[in-house]
């Protein structure tokens, strides 16, 4: 139970869909996210500011507005930190306008989706959270990814996602044996240490650059093209498609193309290749439900 609650309104410069963002990929199934389908509320426990943590809940109140509520055990006077987190989670500051223009020339279904708020990928509270979760998708099925992240949270013993400093303090052996990360433990420790020492992220896991390039990401221990492309997508660079077995299977069945043909197939989308691929999947799932 919490003793204090405060609510504010967040407005988006363009239409946004909390539901479509939550459904954008599998992140919502991973700790510490909680999504209540019936109420349309997305929540998680998080660091809100210096020495302040609590439950953040967001729900949509209009096509361009969301309501943010923080529940905490200390007085909550300033919600700017929580507001910044929600903006990052939902990419509220991202404009779909250029993508809508491209999609309008290539696939009207996709431009309609973008017009009602699709195109945003649910993101963690920090670059580092997305990085850790991406590592935990390497060479493992989805249930294994969820299991590793649950173990990681339990091992750290906090309700919010561990920071880079937390991960380093846990150590490679505990990550390997207790959190069951296996070979990914080495990748995580070495990459975390390098990103901190090179000044790419701060102690909380926030990126200290506008974006971290694919070339830099591939230079990290154990990070290949798929993981680098996935992290670029989560930095809102949609020019490349992270190709794994799921993407390969879909493109083979849908378009009759092989893995090495996927990128060139989506060349007409230019800087928005990934959205051309991903929103096609969503449009097919929502067939007959899109506005005319």
Is residue 249 predicted with pLDDT exceeding 90? yes
At residue 50 the predicted structure's pLDDT band, cuts being 50, 70 and 90, is confident
At residue 292 the predicted structure's pLDDT band, cuts being 50, 70 and 90, is low
Is residue 291 predicted with pLDDT exceeding 70? no
Angle between helices 142-156 and 127-135 (to 10 degrees): 130
Which residues lie below 8 Å from residue 84, measured CB to CB, with a gap of 6+?
none
Rounded mean pLDDT of 138-162?
94
Is residue 1 predicted with pLDDT exceeding 90? no
229-248 pLDDT, tens per residue? 999 999 999 999 999 999 99
- The pLDDT value given to residue 287: 83
Backbone angles phi, psi at 2, to 5 degrees: -110, 150
CA distance 278 to 251: 11
Q: Which one, of 126, 281, 287, lies nearest residue 205 by Cα?
A: 126
At residue 76 the predicted structure's pLDDT band, cuts being 50, 70 and 90, is confident
Is residue 193 predicted with pLDDT exceeding 90? yes
Give bridge partners of residue 207 from the DSSP assignment.
Answer: 201
| CB atoms near residue 48 (< 10 Å) | 24
Whether 61 contacts 68, CB under 8 Å: no
- The pLDDT value given to residue 51: 83
At residue 77 the predicted structure's pLDDT band, cuts being 50, 70 and 90, is confident
């Amino acid at each position: 139970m919490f003793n204090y609650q405060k609510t504010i309104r967040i407005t988006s410069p363009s239409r946004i869909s909390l539901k479509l963002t939550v459904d954008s990929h599998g992140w919502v199934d991973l700790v510490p996210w909680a999504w209540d389908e019936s109420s349309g509320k997305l929540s998680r426990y998080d660091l809100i500011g210096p020495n302040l943590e609590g439950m953040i809940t967001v729900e949509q109140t209009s096509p361009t507005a969301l309501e943010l509520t923080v529940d905490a055990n200390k007085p909550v006077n300033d919600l700017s930190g929580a507001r910044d987190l929600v903006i990052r989670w939902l990419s509220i500051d991202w404009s779909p306008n250029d993508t809508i223009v491209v999609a309008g020339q290539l696939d009207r279904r996709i431009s309609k989706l973008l017009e009602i708020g699709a195109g945003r990928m649910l993101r963690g509270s920090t670059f580092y959270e997305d990085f850790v979760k991406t590592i935990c998708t390497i060479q493992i099925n989805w249930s294994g990814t969820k299991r590793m992240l649950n173990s990681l949270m339990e091992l750290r013993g906090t309700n919010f996602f561990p920071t880079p400093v937390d991960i380093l303090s846990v150590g490679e052996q505990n990550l390997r044996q207790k959190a069951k990360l296996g070979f990914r433990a080495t990748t995580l420790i070495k990459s975390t240490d390098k990103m901190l020492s090179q000044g790419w992220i701060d102690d909380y896991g926030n990126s200290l650059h506008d974006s971290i390039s694919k070339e830099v990401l591939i230079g990290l221990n154990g990070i290949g093209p798929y993981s680098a492309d996935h992290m670029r997508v989560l930095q809102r660079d949609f020019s490349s498609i992270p190709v794994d077995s799921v993407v390969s299977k879909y493109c083979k069945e849908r378009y009759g193309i092989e893995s090495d043909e996927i990128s060139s197939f989506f060349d007409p989308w230019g800087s928005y290749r990934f959205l051309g691929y991903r929103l096609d999947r969503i449009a097919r799932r929502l067939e007959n439900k899109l506005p005319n």
